[in-house]
Structure 1
Amino acid sequence: MFNLFVDSLIILLVVVDPVAVAPLFAALTHGESAATKRRIAIRGTSIAAGILVVFALAGGTLLDALGIGMPAFQIAGGALLFLLAVDMVFARHSGLRSTTEREQREAETKKDISVFPLAIPLIAGPGALTSVLLMVGEQGDDPFVIGTVLAVILLVLLVTLVSLLASARIMAFMGETGANVVSRVLGVVLAALAVQFVLNGWQEGFMLIEENASQMLTV
């Protein structure tokens, strides 16, 4: 269970990347008062927490309803996370976590950005949602697994909230170059984890095929 906690914590920290979200938050809330920034940060992380928790609790049921097996989702999810990792390594804006220029202009004209684009997609984007489902996996009916994943979600979003509240200090200390260095290092880690997801999916998929084949032969 400790290994699950550590692995899940690393994955979600890398995917959400609180250090990378901080400069975006600072830019979108430029000119706002400290109280307004604090309110937006708290509301945005709370909404993102609700979305991720719902996905952790009901994501497996959704996959079952759509007839999607966990091996297929592991392979697809690993591929998406790998694309995100490539963008992080090359310091490019990813469609899995960033917004378009039009969406950014729309967000800048609104006073409250806590729902969009802060909660979605900067924090609870497709990459984070995919990661949560992969963490739960086929053991979604195990209360210890669910509890561990929920604890990881809350811990990562707590770190994200602290990062948002300290976004001005982080930008002053690290600068854009420092943020890109951290993002690239985390991207390499995420790429390795994504490949592992794909390998696990292939392995489980082949095991299911062999099991179904053996059952057919015994009939």
Structure 2
Amino acid sequence: MDSFDFNYNQILSVTMILFAIIDILGSIPILISLRIKAGHIQSEKASIVALLIMILFLYAGEALLKIIGLDVSSFAIAGSIVIFIIAMEMILGVNLFKEEVSESVSIVPLAFPLIAGSGTLTTLLSLKSEYATQNIIVGIVLNMLFVYIVLKNTVRLERLLGKTGVNILRKAFGIILLAIAVKLFRANTGL
């Protein structure tokens, strides 16, 4: 980590880890649901904001949490609760969040917490102890390019899957998301 050289093995590892955590393909049912509610997803804005959140958190995450009196575990538990609620909405087909949906979706809930959520942010803090910062940044950028492509094509994906396919995916990924929420909660509470 002393050298500023780019290490392709590290870049590949970081990219694959973040790809699994962000799980934008698994979020397709959520993306389609958000697009239907709001009418439009601002893919450029969401991708750029998520990129900025991740890079900012990579550099200042632990210090920021300490300033507001939080530890990484508390942050992860809060994120797991949000993920749990989103999963329950997907499984039960109900809206638990009653906020007004804007005409387009970009920052909340797309950039944060869906893309750059607590799982992603806590993973970045973990990666920082094992990988060089420049390699982590390249991994983040590669993931955000892929996220942008998926966000830009939600209408095509919806047409490809059809209404029944989207409903099946929503329920299946809702259960997976629920399991991720429980795992994140258990890992950070010691249960």
Q: Does the TM-score normalized on the shorter chain lie above 0.5?
A: yes
* Structure 1 portions without partners, runs of 5+: 85-92, 140-144, 199-219
**Residue 153 of structure 2 corresponds to which residue in structure 1?**
166
Are the counterparts in 2 of residues 97 and 127 from structure 1 also a CA contact under 8 Å?
no
**Residue 135 of structure 1 corresponds to which residue in structure 2?**
127
Q: Deviations over 1:83-131 (max 9, x none)?
A: 97xxxxxxxx93397696333x425x31132111111111111111111
Name the CA shift for 1:113/1:133 in 2 (closer, same or farther; >3 Å): same
Shift of 1:23: 2.8
Fraction of identical pairs, as percent:
22
Name the CA shift for 1:173/1:50 in 2 (closer, same or farther; >3 Å): same
More helix by share: 1
Shift of 1:182: 8.5
Report the secondary structure of 1:113's partner residue. Answer: coil
Are the counterparts in 2 of residues 48 and 123 from structure 1 also a CA contact under 8 Å?
yes
Q: Would you say how many aligned residue pairs link Structure 1 and Structure 2?
A: 166
**Residue 30 of structure 1 corresponds to which residue in structure 2?**
36
Name the CA shift for 1:32/1:181 in 2 (closer, same or farther; >3 Å): closer
1:106 aligns with 2:99: yes
Q: Following TM superposition, where does structure 1 have runs of at least 4 consecutive aligned residues deviating by more than 4 angstroms?
A: 62-68, 96-100, 177-185
C-alpha RMSD over aligned residues = 4.1
Name the CA shift for 1:62/1:165 in 2 (closer, same or farther; >3 Å): same
Name the CA shift for 1:183/1:8 in 2 (closer, same or farther; >3 Å): farther
**Residue 49 of structure 2 corresponds to which residue in structure 1?**
47
Name the CA shift for 1:163/1:21 in 2 (closer, same or farther; >3 Å): same
Shift of 1:62: 4.2
Give me the TM-score of the superposition, normalised by structure 1.
0.57
**Residue 138 of structure 2 corresponds to which residue in structure 1?**
151
Distance 1:114 1:57 in 2: 23
Distance 1:28 1:119 in 2: 12
Q: Deviations over 1:41-75 (max 9, x none)?
A: 1111111111100011122444676697xxxx6xx
Residue identity in the other structure for 1:148: N
1:94 aligns with 2:94: no
